[in-house]
Amino acid sequence: MPSTNSHGSKPERVALYLRVSSEEQRDRETIELQRDFLEQYCNLHELEVTDVYEDNGVSGTIPVYERPEGRRLLEDAKGGGFGALLVYRLDRLGRSLLVIVDAHNRLEEAGVAMRSGTEPIDTSNPSGRFIFQMLASFADFERESIRERTQAGLHRALRNGKQLGMIPYGYDISPDGSFVIIEDEARIVAEIIVNIAAGATLYSEAERLNDEGVPSPGSKNRGKPRKYGSMWRVPTVQGIVKRGAYSGTHSERPQGTHRAESPCHSGAGAATEGPRPHGGE
């Protein structure tokens, strides 16, 4: 525990580090809350605050040395302006074990101890270092558990036919989250697939669609109108031909996970009853 200054000795010099990440976290736990708590902590223990470093809207998975204020903090630590870094909670320093340990090692090289205002952590003594190692491991375990639960939820939603990302050309999403065929767009998809199957090239299909003034797929998000592109290109046509949704299986790969598949009505199949290659007899 930090010592008080009851005998008039020079107060210990500390720096404060504050961080929040997402909008959700800003609403729940603000920078001001951390600042107010740590300032009261320093008044109680008669600590002299040399500087305050605030990383607002910065993820705890980003190494401290890559954060704007974190970089300045580490540079100042090398200058010997303070002997300890005080944080509201250990996870303000980092959300992964590697990030926290890296920050600890860099501060230790500069002769700066780490302390938490709400946890029994003080790396200037052996017991504090032991508790630091345990809590850092718990913080890493919590982050990985949240990540696994999030990934499981995404895959469950995809398997149940829910669309989470960009909506494929030829489809919209119903209120219950399932795919709905857009007939006009599905007809274009069917023409492309039938013509390619009959021997047309990707380039000739892109040229045909542009000549006919058909808007290219562009992009569409749930609940918003499709933003059509200006022209068809070879990769656009190729994406239509290769997309599994048009054969009844839509696949997504949420970031950091393996690919998941979900059923959907085949837009191409729905619009190709008795199709013929475009321009045929």
| Domains within the chain, CATH numbers bracketed | 13-155 (3.40.50.1390), 162-270 (3.90.1750.20)
| Confidence label for 276 from pLDDT (cuts 50, 70 and 90) | very low
Q: What is the pTM of this model?
A: 0.48
Comparing 30-39, 179-188, 201-210, the range with the smallest average pLDDT is: 179-188
Respond yes or no: is residue 21 known to be catalytic: yes
**Is pLDDT larger for residue 53 or for residue 279?**
53
Catalytic residue among 6, 9, 21, 174: 21
- CA nearest to 194, candidates 278, 251, 77: 278
Buried b (16+ CB within 10 A) or exposed e, 12-30: bebbbbbbbbeeeeeeebe
Buried b (16+ CB within 10 A) or exposed e, 191-208: bbbbbbeeebebeebbbb
For residue 220, pLDDT over 60 is answered with: yes
pLDDT tens by residue, 100-155: 888 988 999 999 999 999 988 888 888 777 777 776 676 666 666 766 776 666 55
